[in-house]
Every structure is written in C-alpha cells, then in structure tokens.
Amino acid sequence: MCILLFKFDPRPVSKNAYRLILAANRDEFYHRPSKSADFWDNSNEILSGALVTNFLTGDLDSYSYLKKVSVEGHLYNGFNLLAADLNTTKGDVICYYGNKGEPEPVFLNPGIYGLSNSLLDTPWKKLQYGKQLFTEVVKRSQDLTKEDLVQELLTVMNNQEPQLPDPAIEDQGKDYIRPILNKYAAVCVRCPGYGTRTNTVILIDSEGRVTFTERNLINADVNKWTTSTYEFKLHT
C-alpha cells in the first residue's frame, strides 16, 4: 500500500516558499526486482523509475494526457495518475485521474492532498494522519534549510504508528489484510517480506530549482538504506 502526500502552490508569495512539496512511499515485496530512479540517458531530461513513459516522452499537456488515458480507464484494474506541467513562465498545473472515480480528469486547486490505495483524499485514517504530520512540516518549510526539510519529510514517511480502528481499510483488504492490519494501517508499512522499500521527496522552489531525494532499501534489509539526491532546474 503506497502513500503519497503533496502540497501544490503555483504562485508562492515568498522566494523561500516551494511550488511543490511531495513525499511518497513505495510499498511492495522486498525481494521484487526493481531499479532506483535515475536519468534515462545522457540528455538528463527525464528522471524517474521508468513509469508513465508515454507522458514523460510525449508532447501532450497533463490534462490532455489524462483525458486520453481515461477513455480506456475502464479496461484496467484500479489505478491513480497525477500529471503536472510545471512551467515558470506559463504557470503550474497539476491534474488527477483515478479510473475508479470520476470519468474525466480534474485540475487540482492549490492545497495539500493525499493519496493511497484508493481515490485522491479518501479519508483513511493512515492517510489523514500522514496529511496531518505532513502539514505540520510544510507550515515550517520556509524556516527550515532544504536539507532539514527533506529529513523531516522522511521522518513523516517512516512513521509506523498504526491508525486503528479503520473499517474502510480493513474492508478493502478483507481476509488478506486482517492478520497484518496493525502494520498495514501505518504511514510506513513494516511486515515480514513486504512493506515500505522506497521513500521519495521532491521539492520545487519558486525559481524552478528541483531537489529529488530517494531513499532505497538495500538487499531487503530494513536496517540498510541508500540515499540518492539529484538537483537541477526546470526548463522554462
């Protein structure tokens, strides 16, 4: 069960403010083969874990791409997509589409949002608690160094306090979830052989400078992690 929290502010009033603050956990089986996020080629134009390639390599804007995806959304198992056009001169846009929700994508207003294994801002207790912790850090973001902000966001994403009882999460998982519910209902999941194996933090400041930090599990050992950081500036 992955979780993603973000604040979107396309017109920050201060130079110390951020246009986007995003923190996410990737949860899956520890031994599943995977690659860390990296630049795809020598052009250094695409940094990702190789997902949603059609959007990253295409020419469509975020809404048009999600609109195209929504036409065939009913053919797939449940998924959520966030797509953004972050442009210093034209203004920032973030759009959302979930194929189990509204039939068409929506533009997101400035604000704080959360996403887990359901639709955007579904009020699961772990998501609400994560948003609360995230919001507390975001409120102090202009007073923190960039490095301290990243560390505080990583602390939020590694919170293992179960948020129970939560009938909604128990009902969705049914018999598979109940034996591990105490671990599964936390922002950071720690179950035998399964759980949070990647933390990602993305910061974009008022000048379009990006800091991308990824923390990855090493050899399925929850006591061993490696951290990579990339810094670059958005194209205008």
Residue 186: how many CB atoms within 10 A of its CB?
23
High-pLDDT (> 90) share of the chain, %: 68
Residue 203, CA distances (Å) to 18, 19, 120, 147 in order: 7, 8, 20, 11
pLDDT at 214 over 60: yes
- Give the pLDDT score at 215: 97
CB of 24 closer than 8 Å to CB of 157: yes
Report how far residue 25's alpha carbon sits from residue 233's, in angstroms, rounded to the nearest whole number: 24
Chain segment 96-114, per-residue pLDDT in tens: 999 999 999 999 999 999 9
Task: Look at residue 49 and tell me whether its pLDDT is greater than 70.
Answer: no
With cut-offs at 50, 70 and 90, classify the pLDDT of residue 168.
confident
pLDDT of the residue at 108: 97
The pLDDT tens digits of the residues spanning 185-203 come to 999 999 989 999 999 999 9
Determine the average pLDDT of the residues in 59-75: 93
For 113-158, the pLDDT digits (tens) are 999 989 999 999 999 999 999 999 999 999 999 999 999 999 999 9
- Using pLDDT thresholds of 50, 70 and 90, give the confidence band for residue 181: confident
Domains of the chain: 3-233 (3.60.60)
At position 17, the amino acid (one-letter code) is A
> Higher-confidence residue: 64 or 40?
64
Name the H helices within the chain: 53-57, 62-71, 125-139, 146-157, 167-177, 181-184
d(CA 10, CA 65): 20
Contact criterion met (CB below 8 Å) for 173 and 134? no
3-state secondary structure of 105: coil
Q: Copy the structure tokens of residue 5.
A: 């929290």
Give percent of the chain with pLDDT exceeding 70. Answer: 96
The 8 Å CB, 24+ separation contacts for 98-107 are 99/70, 99/73, 99/74, 103/70, 103/73, 104/67, 104/70, 105/63, 105/66, 105/67, 105/69, 105/70, 107/63
What the block records as the tokens of 223 is 């006591």
